Amino acid sequence: MQLRFLSDAPLRRPVTAATNKVESFNRFSQWLGFGNRGVIADNDPVDQEKAIKFTALLTNAVIFHNALDIAEIVRQLLEEGWEIDAEDLAHISPYLTEHINRFDKYSTHELGIQPEAYDPKLDVDFTPLREQDLAAAGFTAAA
């Protein structure tokens, strides 16, 4: 398998892409978990598990918020008449940090407010990208 991986560029592309996504997620998560530079100094396994789960929860919440913001911007652009290509959207990452001020004061008085339901549907055709992914994985459309 190793020799095939080394000599087969089409096989390496999706593996490298997946590896890059995981590394990006880990860098993003580490950036968010800024307390003690992500080092868990407690020897208590329960506290260690809490710290890990809190960082994962925070990371996923920020990714979700970023994805909602991206979707809203895409909807606004579509309403303005812009043509949005699924291939371009495929290169947008939800691991955005520029808008986050980690060391600010945050109010929690709005935590009990029920948010409006979000619409996950974008008026963009992702079918060609899905077909490319299936073909790259060795599946056909009939499978």
How buried is residue 32: exposed, middle or buried, by Cβ count under 10 Å (0-12/13-18/19+)?
Answer: buried
Instruction: Round to whole Å and give the CA distance between 130 and 135.
Output: 9
> What is the chain's mean pLDDT, rounded?
83
Q: Output Rg (C-alpha) for the chain, integer angstroms.
A: 20
Q: Could you give the CA distance from residue 92 to residue 104 in angstroms, rounded to a whole number?
A: 27
Length of the chain: 143
Question: Given a cut of 80, is residue 138 above it in pLDDT?
Answer: no
143 pLDDT band, cuts 50/70/90, is: very low
Instruction: Please give the pLDDT value at position 137.
Output: 65
Q: What is the 3-state secondary structure (H, E, C) of 53-97?
A: HHHHHHHHHHHHHHHHHHHHHHHHHHHCCCCCCHHHHCCCCCCCC
Q: Is 13 helix (H, G, I), strand (E, B) or coil?
A: helix
In what helix (H) or strand (E) does residue 133 lie, and over which residues does it extend?
Answer: helix 127-136
pLDDT digits (tens, 9 = 90+) for 13-46: 777 888 888 899 999 998 888 666 667 777 889 9
Question: Among 76, 116, 92, 101, which residue's Cα sits nearest to residue 21?
Answer: 92
How far is 117 from 73, CA to CA, in rounded Å? 17
Tell me what pLDDT residue 77 has.
94
Give the pLDDT confidence of 56-84 residue by residue, as tens digits.
Answer: 999 999 999 999 999 999 999 999 999 88
- What pLDDT is attached to residue 34? 66
Residue 4 has which token pair?
Answer: 């095939």
